[in-house]
Amino acid sequence: MAQTGFSYFTLPHFPGAENAATEPFSARHLPEPIRVRRGVPIGLDFPPTTEVALSSKSGPRFTDFLYTTSRLLLATERVCDLLKAEGVTREQAEYLPFVLKDKKGKVRPEKYLLINPLLKVACFDFDRAEYSLFTGEAVSTPGVKEISSIHKIQVREEQIPTDAKLFRLAEEPDVKLIRSDLLDALKAQGMDGGLVALPLGEFMT
């Protein structure tokens, strides 16, 4: 069943230089790093012993969300518990712990998990959004609109299921969206530190 009455935001975006940030995720962390940006299960390839280091440009401030230039969702265990309590089940997302290390290679005391949304919703509004399409030989499936970049996103809310609070855009799975009530729940518990979510229609940085 589709739903209306909520608003949606894209995430995550750069929270500022003062916030802690990790190095980009690469083949050192996953055999095929692109998979984690496509919303496919990666748990078998990302054991809890996986080591992720802070970026050389990381800020000193640790919050509930940890930034990475790979634009993945890295959050504390209490954030993950809240998401699951709000209906973002293990069927809709993977919650994968890892070992965080500082710039010198020492293990940090902070505990974070990689949140990998698996739910994909085909709701991109090709009429109202601003975007570019692949053309010519870059098109892999003739007759299908394939997005090369999104400048300003808009969605067809009537296409979004009622249980979709954190999900990926099926037309471009690297884009993740959060529903307003889930974002409000994070804010109400003071768990939105380090999380920058932009409303639809804002320029996608």
* Residue-range domain boundaries for the chain: 8-199
Q: What is the pLDDT of residue 86?
A: 98
Q: What is the pLDDT of residue 138?
A: 78
Q: What is the pLDDT of residue 69?
A: 86
Q: What is the pLDDT of residue 4?
A: 61
Cα angle 106-110-114, degrees, rounded to a multiple of 5: 100
First to last CA, the chain: 32
Residues of the chain with pLDDT under 70: 1-4, 205
Decide the pairing of beta strands 112-117 and 93-97: antiparallel
Q: List, in order, residues 6 or more apart from 81 with CB less than 8 Å away.
A: none
